Amino acid sequence: MLSPIELTEEEGEEEEHDRPDRPDLAMLQEFNRTRDPATGTVPRERLVVAQARAEQLLMQQAQRTSASTLSSASWTEKGPSNVGGRVRAVLVDPADATGNTVWAGSVAGGLWKSTNAQSASPTWVSINGFMANLAITSLVYDPTNPDIMYLGTGEGFFNLDAVRGLGVWKSTDHGVTWTQLTSTAPPAVADFYRVQRLAVQPVTGYVFAATRTGLFRSKDQGATWTAVLQPSGIRMGDVKISSNGTIFVGAGLLQTGALYRSTNNGDTWTNLNTTAGSGLPATSVGYHRIEVACAPSDANRVYAIFTTSTDTALDIYMTKDGGTTWSVINKPAGDFTSGQGWYSLAMGVSPTDPNTLYVGGLDLWLTTNADAVRVQGPNTTSQTTWTQTTVWSASKTASNYVHADHHAIVWVPVTSGTATKAFFASDGGIAYSANANSTAATYGQRNNGLNITQFYALALHPSDVNYFLAGAQDNGTQRYTQAGGQVTTEATGGDGAFCFIDQNEPQFQFTAYIYAQYRRSTNSGTSFTTLNLSTTAGQFINPTDYDSRSNTLYGGWTVDRFFRLPSATTAAATAVSNVLLATGAGMVTHVTVSPNNQDRLFVGTEPDFSVATPGPGHVYRVDNAASASPIVTLLYTAPAGMSVSSVAVEAGNDAHLLMTLSNYSATEAKV
């Protein structure tokens, strides 16, 4: 989850469930290391140019008479096949009446399709390899022509200009091929860097896009766009269209916005929060996100969640007259958004019952009596009741387990009877329920082959070729043990990061959580205990290395410093010490232990990005790194605004180094 953690330095039994925490900080870290110093942005639009160049190189390679050693190497997909990743968009294919054909858009793995998604072990196929580079946030089809589909890119829910997309993409052959709409292609069209939501008017086929700069409408299937709602400086978070064509827009992301309505295809708009007698909260209340859900079976029934500036749910509002008047209904007990309503917030109304409604935050909650009230004279009191149907910390094999942080809830439509099936998208991929309309609903993961997990690092075993560890964003550190298999078990939870297996004594293993918090195993990974050196020092994903010869753990600490933990296989957390690299060195971005000299360390840094004009990153060599008096030597100063992303040392010769810079426009690699 994203709420601030409060831990103390400790050593002891591992928390049974470390929580995924603050993806915005992970994105900030990635942003700083990749942004172009000249523009202060990450030029995602260059991916299109890179794709064309890659295709050209592949054609040239195919024409060669002999392949290189690398190109002829045999690669095997290792998954994990049972672990997903962050999915923000789900679409049940309208051409499949069974609801088995499902499309999933991930923010780090592109577009995927399954034709047996309800199966316990579905098959997922990646659509277009280039799309794996796109942060997909929305998927819709045109009800007037279901062969036309649109997807929106760019994750704009963060208060950070980091997760840029590449506009809107369109398919006219039911998802077989996709083309970027030039009318939305950055950088020429900056309004479409982040498309939070797409919606298509069911009668006219008009397309609406909620972006960070406003609400845009296309009347010609994406060829041209017009801004139809642009309150000054307000980011658009959601757009939904009821079955009668009424459009509702949740405006405001991490800022005070409002709920807007249009009954004439977006020509004119009404601010419902400022409309007298609407029953909605005044805009002075302050809220960070508004999520909307329309009931497919009742065009007049609409729900809206308002989250406050503290990122908790202010209230859930319901209208039964198409948005003219609204009333508060009971919300789930406690803070079901867990203080992260700006990030993970979802609603979904049953297609056959307007009173059956899911809300998702940290977990899923279900009501089947949304409009229940008690009448006392002229007053009515909501009697809506909620049932928490999932628990993120439950066993992953439990029927009530679904990964934390929900982003989309999509029911499977039916032509008759009661809708019972639904898909759920979260930071852990796709889940499914065949009895979703029941307060005793059961759930199953549908991530088999949905290979979209974001990995930071892995650790190989010195003798067991089937055993290795891999640290993943928001999906813990995964343990591989199967010969040729892709199924993993979770070694440690929360956000996974750097991990290590002692190359001399492999019973000692280390995984990382966020900042300088680690987990240690002394029994070959069977169990881990906490080794929290600091809950605040270091980077969010903290650069770390481990020396199997001296059993010393090294990593980033506070600005200008790195830490060392000698005898890390047995040492207490209090044994940690930190070393000054140099004043102005910056935060550590990379740590490499020399393979040739036990007490030699190479450290890369990044500049201070909090200032208007960041300085340079550096590379340092640290001799006598584990001693009381280490010697620090500056080897290289990068251009201003550049981060050192890695340093590699030649086996047998410490004088031969390869260094890389991670920022775009960083044209120099050093050898």
Shared domain for 258 and 323, answered yes or no, is yes
Phi and psi torsions of 191, nearest 5°: -70, -15
| Residue 84 to residue 446: CA distance in whole angstroms | 9
77 belongs to a structural domain: no
> Low-confidence residues of the chain, pLDDT below 50?
1-16, 161-162
DSSP 190-210: GGGS-EEEEEE-TTT--EEEE
The helix or strand, by DSSP H or E, that contains position 61, with its residue range, turns out to be: helix 46-62
What's the confidence (pLDDT) of residue 232?
A: 86
Please identify, among 524, 558, 588, the residue that sits at the C-terminal boundary of a domain.
588
561 belongs to a structural domain: yes
| Residue 141 to residue 175: CA distance in whole angstroms | 10
Three-state DSSP class for 291? strand
Shared domain for 195 and 321, answered yes or no, is yes
What's the confidence (pLDDT) of residue 1?
A: 30
| Residue 249 to residue 128: CA distance in whole angstroms | 31
Write out the two tokens for 109. Answer: 């793995």
What's the confidence (pLDDT) of residue 22?
A: 60
| Residue 337 to residue 487: CA distance in whole angstroms | 31
598 belongs to a structural domain: no
What's the confidence (pLDDT) of residue 427?
A: 93
The helix or strand, by DSSP H or E, that contains position 25, with its residue range, turns out to be: helix 23-34
Shared domain for 342 and 483, answered yes or no, is no
Please identify, among 542, 572, 588, the residue that sits at the C-terminal boundary of a domain.
588
What's the confidence (pLDDT) of residue 314?
A: 85
AA letter at 454: Q
Query: Do β-strands 373-376 and 270-271 pair in parallel, antiparallel, or remain unpaired?
Result: unpaired
What's the confidence (pLDDT) of residue 10?
A: 37
113 belongs to a structural domain: yes
Shared domain for 38 and 108, answered yes or no, is no
Please identify, among 588, 610, 638, the residue that sits at the C-terminal boundary of a domain.
588
What's the confidence (pLDDT) of residue 387?
A: 98
* Domain CATH for 95: 2.130.10.10
- Domain total for the chain? 2
512 belongs to a structural domain: yes
What's the confidence (pLDDT) of residue 75?
A: 82
Shared domain for 260 and 380, answered yes or no, is yes
285 belongs to a structural domain: yes
Shared domain for 216 and 331, answered yes or no, is yes
AA letter at 282: A
pTM: 0.89
DSSP state of 590: E
Shared domain for 421 and 500, answered yes or no, is no
Write out the two tokens for 489. Answer: 């078990």
Q: Note if the bond before 80 is cis, omega within 30 degrees.
A: yes
74 belongs to a structural domain: no
Shared domain for 210 and 338, answered yes or no, is yes
608 belongs to a structural domain: no
Shared domain for 376 and 288, answered yes or no, is yes
Q: Comparing C-alpha atoms, which of 544, 520, 550, 524 is closest to residue 532?
A: 520
Shared domain for 190 and 45, answered yes or no, is no
Count the alpha carbons within 13 Å of 528 in the hemisphere toward its beta carbon: 29
Shared domain for 463 and 413, answered yes or no, is no
Burial class (CB in 10 A: 0-12, 13-18, 19+), 590: buried
What's the confidence (pLDDT) of residue 70?
A: 59
Shared domain for 304 and 374, answered yes or no, is yes
What range does the domain containing 32 cover?
A: 10-52+454-588
